[in-house]
Chain A
Amino acid sequence: AQRVTQPEKLLSVFKGAPVELKCNYSYSGSPELFWYVQYSRQRLQLLLRHISRESIKGFTADLNKGETSFHLKKPFAQEEDSAMYYCALHTSGTYKYIFGTGTRLKVLA
């Protein structure tokens, strides 16, 4: 069955420290993976997708098919990064998206 796992419900780091939000997926096909972010009082929005291989707001994520992972990383956390982060899997050939349970990131001053 297709599944997205985010093992950490809450991740607290100090400002300037590195951040890694974990995401593992289970899918037998060719995955399309995304990270979405929800800042306080804002709607859920796309942060980045694995296809684009770009850095957004200093965040990067690399798809590792061998480990079936798509971890989100940032070398130096900022207070404005505090938000809820969701990893999502799009299954090929369908319109279906599967979300993980989310990780709340708190960046402490």
Chain B
Amino acid sequence: EVQLVESGGGVVRPGGSLRLSCAASGFTFDDYGMSWVRQAPGKGLEWVSGINWNGGSTGYADSVKGRFTISRDNAKNSLYLQMNSLRAEDTALYHCAREASNSEAFDIWGQGTMVTVSS
């Protein structure tokens, strides 16, 4: 079964750090670009960051640029998001998502890991 499972979320104080992980299974991980997409409580979808198949190209939303770092370990079939200098507005459910092979739409999503930034 093709699956993405996120972990690493939690409650953190403003200015703190967290590292999210996304474990992929059921497909050849290094064939695909990957992204992180977040959803604040009761709000819509916001793309956070993306990475190509070998990690050689990355992109970030302006809202997280300079604070978040995306990476991947193809040997471990894993995607990561290092989040530093966290703010209250980063509070959200963070999903990892796979780019489809025939477009740049996201065809597989994980259920998400919740990040709460609060003092």
Bound together = no
Residue numbers of B with Cβ under 8 A of A are none
